[in-house]
Amino acid sequence: MALFGDLELRQYGVSAISGFLPETKPLEKLPDPLYSPWESIVNGLPQLLKTDTLSDAVDNLPVLSTAKLRTEDEWRRAYLVLGFLSQGYIWSGNEPRKKLPLSITSPLRSVSSHFKIIPCATFATYCLWNTTLGDEEDRTNPSSYSAQITFTGSHEEEWFYTTSVAIEAQGAPLIPLALSAVDATTIHDRKTVTSFLEAFSTCMDRICEILARLDERLSADFFYHKLRPFLRGSKNMAGAGLPEGVLYPNCRCGEGEWVQFSGGSNAQSSLIQFFDIVLGIKQDCGFFKACQVHEWLHRSRLNT
């Protein structure tokens, strides 16, 4: 009896066509005018960061309810917008800000609770829910996508996100095959398992080819000095000025809780974690933390 192969993937927000990426184009803005203040700020995010005026704009935001978010697309857009605003607010300026305003933390908590994910920017913020596929374009080509929101307004930043998205799309067709292969192991169906492993090997080769394109349009200098600072989390950041993390107020009086979250990272890739689970791979978290960006940075610097 099938355990996984008969699952209706859509019930879990997964597609055999696009994998963990939404099949449809994400919203470009929230339709209800209530959320215009959010959209107005995020549309000018690169300029506000460049002029160091983002904090003033965010501090003047009203505390908005999430009650008028109706569809999953709207909830995703809200999470995307609030994630970028929170990261920009914390990491703009000469010193990180140790406290987010209630106008960010209140709706961010609500949206994160809806998705059952942590209330901070993640891989979903930067990649899964932030990219738009062009009409009739190749899903596995980074050039086929555009990023809706960036910190810098740079095509280098956009390329970082779209390369990650192309990798997700490349692995999408393997998801149902992997689930069938797991079922096959219970009945000793070697043919199905072998077929999946062969497809997996081919997919990994193609993913490596996509990954190798990263430095086509993204320099190590830009990533390290311009983009990476905005991707940082609030965990283990004492050296950067956040010894206790970030204060998330839960009322207008300012009281709240100190939280520490890891920053958004490609180590959070839904696809790669899925493959790890299917193959029974247990990663060394300490090794991942040390190597997730340094290997690419080192290689890029050697090539310049």
In this prediction, residue 240 carries a pLDDT of 96
d(CA 114, CA 228): 28
What is the number of other CB atoms lying within 10 angstroms of the CB of residue 230? 21
Q: How is the chain split into domains, by residue range? A: 9-302
Q: How confident is the model at residue 3 (pLDDT cuts 50, 70, 90)?
A: confident
- Residue 153, pLDDT above cutoff 50: yes
- Residue 114, pLDDT above cutoff 60: yes
d(CA 294, CA 264): 16
- Residue 293, pLDDT above cutoff 60: no
- Residue 297, pLDDT above cutoff 70: no
d(CA 142, CA 210): 8
- Residue 37, pLDDT above cutoff 70: yes
Nearest CA to 88 out of 142, 14, 158, 149 is that of 149
**Each residue's pLDDT tens digit, 262-291:** 999 888 999 999 999 999 988 765 544 444
| Cβ contacts of 220 within 8 Å, gap of 6 or more | 296, 297, 300, 301, 304
In this prediction, residue 1 carries a pLDDT of 53
**Each residue's pLDDT tens digit, 82-98:** 999 999 999 998 999 99
**Each residue's pLDDT tens digit, 178-190:** 999 999 999 999 9
In this prediction, residue 300 carries a pLDDT of 41
d(CA 276, CA 34): 41
In this prediction, residue 187 carries a pLDDT of 92
Q: In the predicted model, what is the mean pLDDT of the chain?
A: 91
Stated as kind and residue range, the H or E segment containing 132 is strand 131-133
d(CA 172, CA 251): 42
